[in-house]
Structure 1
């Protein structure tokens, strides 16, 4: 098996090759192949591209672009990732087509050909791109010589990123740093070429294409002096502030009417991403509610007959931007706590009814929250909402706790499918849950949502010991 290098380390998730043409081509190739295979099969079977096929292809493209980096991986790992991603996408599309009866528009032969031909064509296209990528990178631009000003954590991370970037050819010549080697606690893989006073003369005697300033923001006067001294240089100059080493949420650079701004903490669901997320929530929730309506009725009758109290338990939770929302669940306890103090359910909790124990174990008590999704209060996938009393407690104890409310809470989430579901009887467990929630915010994509839904279905089928 071909070995692969570890993933590129980036500063706060900001890619230095995002504008690279090879990177863009790789991001497009899988969605485009998926669309062209669907169109080709439609022409082969019906001699035309029907409106239903055209709309389906648009939806497939939107949920799969950008497709992510795969050509750096070995062949077998690349095949594994393509097939795993395709299984999730195909299962979601077929589930929706089946529940809405659109599946009757296509023959079984066409569906089978589509399921087999798409991943095969994607793997072939990616392998062809991998074979031609060295030539594409070379054609794209010659080797670029780079210098880094500031030997520190972000400077070292930047050097490693430039060295390992598959999509561009950059040669790091070395560092310029005022501090002596005795004062530095770092051991760089590149030489220290001099101090900042020697930078100008070095640039005049060497060919340098790019110059990265990796000094801390506290060195503002020194940075301004460096920029002033570099006006006589033809090198492209980039500033890498030390904030990019911190734990940013959806960190990116944008502008407000021409003024550059850096996003430190933002929601991933803006623009087209927000439209895709909301559309997927509505369509999925409608399909699920229609499909399980007999089950909902049976559970409601069972709750009413098995114990006194309401069928639906309503509890205040924090939603998007920390605003209070009312969340629905099937009642599984003999109490309906929603005050200033809420006691979490524990193992062998006497308040849980016999039917309620089954509902909680199988997550069936959460099904009414699909109504919350249609209302716009929740999403299918997102950080799980906690009781208001728990929020007020943990926001004082866990750093970054309220950042999870930059998005709508979800019926299921990244933390839940990674083992942090149910009781959080220690502060460490809640910290781990929050860590996974923030990881979800940083790395959201439609594919990640589909993965979480698929894992949730699997874990629900096999049961979860942490759910009391």
Structure 2
């Protein structure tokens, strides 16, 4: 980012001053902060190229806005010609995007060779667990290597009584815990139904002293919460199921419309 600004300034003026370097440094700091807001640096191999580019453009747009406000407040914007700023605004996200794409290609090549992959296991042989496993298998860029399913019950739990499991069991939950403690499993997804509270608590207690990352995958499909969203009520996480659409500004507009 600093290099692109310095390059554009050097081509336009033939020299680079301290103001240029300072502005580039501020842009880097602001971009790092806004990148976290847009999810650019979120730990995930699964993000598509389009999502990544959208995050880059969003973070850079907010960065440009902040820099414009600073330039207006301090009047340092007069130090840069409009042509220089326009070229820099276009060049920077292009260079960042190309760099991220190159890293993505290198990363995918390493993952295909088994370098940097994480071994995952699914606790719970049910429809949610099968969907999780299928998503992993259909997207190699995730970097996950499927170890298998683990469950205390041998039968496949599904709404369709005649359905057969597309995956086989590797063992029970105790065996999964032992494998995790031996370092044979890196990540565990718990897809047990919500009514299996005791078994979920057992897994969390047993896996607390292992090096495996543990995730609980709630089955929102049980309650048809397809349009739900996470919210926070005084610091306590909650799931919004039904929400009044006429709230806040929308409610005020609706009220004014009714009165008129």
* TM-score (normalised: structure 1): 0.37
2:4 aligned with 1:37: yes
1:78, distance to aligned residue in structure 2 (A): 7.2
1:171 aligned partner: 146
2:199 aligned partner: 222
2:161 aligned with 1:192: no
1:172, distance to aligned residue in structure 2 (A): 4.6
1:49, distance to aligned residue in structure 2 (A): 3.5
Larger radius of gyration: 1
Which segments of 5 or more consecutive residues in structure 2 lack a partner in the other structure?
none
Q: Distance in 1 between matches of 2:53 and 2:189?
A: 37
2:69 aligned with 1:96: yes
1:67 aligned partner: 40
Q: Distance in 1 between matches of 2:86 and 2:200?
A: 61
2:97 aligned with 1:126: no
Distance 1:157 1:54, change over 3 A: same
2:254 aligned partner: 423
1:36, distance to aligned residue in structure 2 (A): 4.2
1:150 aligned partner: 124
Q: Structure 1, residues 188-229: CA drift from partner, whole Å, max 9, x if none?
A: 7741327748957x96xxx9524443324543433456678x
Q: Aligned with 1:264: secondary structure?
A: strand
Indicate the RMSD between aligned Cα atoms, in angstroms. 5.2
Instruction: Report if the CA contact (8 A) 2:120-2:147 is conserved.
Output: yes
2:25 aligned partner: 54
Distance 1:192 1:85, change over 3 A: same
Instruction: Report if the CA contact (8 A) 2:40-2:52 is conserved.
Output: no
Distance 1:219 1:138, change over 3 A: same
Instruction: Report if the CA contact (8 A) 1:145-1:171 is conserved.
Output: yes
Distance 1:195 1:91, change over 3 A: closer
1:120, distance to aligned residue in structure 2 (A): 2.5
1:241, distance to aligned residue in structure 2 (A): 5.8
Distance 1:214 1:424, change over 3 A: farther
Q: Distance in 2 between matches of 1:127 and 1:215?
A: 37
Instruction: Report if the CA contact (8 A) 1:71-1:127 is conserved.
Output: no
Q: Distance in 1 between matches of 2:118 and 2:167?
A: 17
2:230 aligned with 1:249: yes
Instruction: Report if the CA contact (8 A) 1:145-1:172 is conserved.
Output: yes
Distance 1:96 1:165, change over 3 A: farther
Instruction: Report if the CA contact (8 A) 1:214-1:242 is conserved.
Output: yes
1:401, distance to aligned residue in structure 2 (A): 5.1
Q: Distance in 1 between matches of 2:103 and 2:2?
A: 18
Q: Aligned with 2:146: secondary structure?
A: strand
Instruction: Report if the CA contact (8 A) 1:82-1:123 is conserved.
Output: no
Which of 180, 196, 200 pairs up with 2:155?
Answer: 180
Instruction: Report if the CA contact (8 A) 1:176-1:192 is conserved.
Output: no
Q: Structure 1, residues 274-331: CA drift from partner, whole Å, max 9, x if none?
A: xxxxxxxxxxxxxxxxxxxxxxxxxxxxxxxxxxxxxxxxxxxxxxxxxxxxxxxxxx
Q: Aligned with 1:423: secondary structure?
A: helix
1:132, distance to aligned residue in structure 2 (A): 0.9
Distance 1:52 1:226, change over 3 A: closer
Instruction: Report if the CA contact (8 A) 1:41-1:110 is conserved.
Output: yes
Q: Distance in 1 between matches of 2:25 and 2:60?
A: 21
* TM-score (normalised: structure 2): 0.58
Q: Structure 1, residues 333-389: CA drift from partner, whole Å, max 9, x if none?
A: xxxxxxxxxxxxxxxxxxxxxxxxxxxxxxxxxxxxxxxxxxxxxxxxxxxxxxxxx
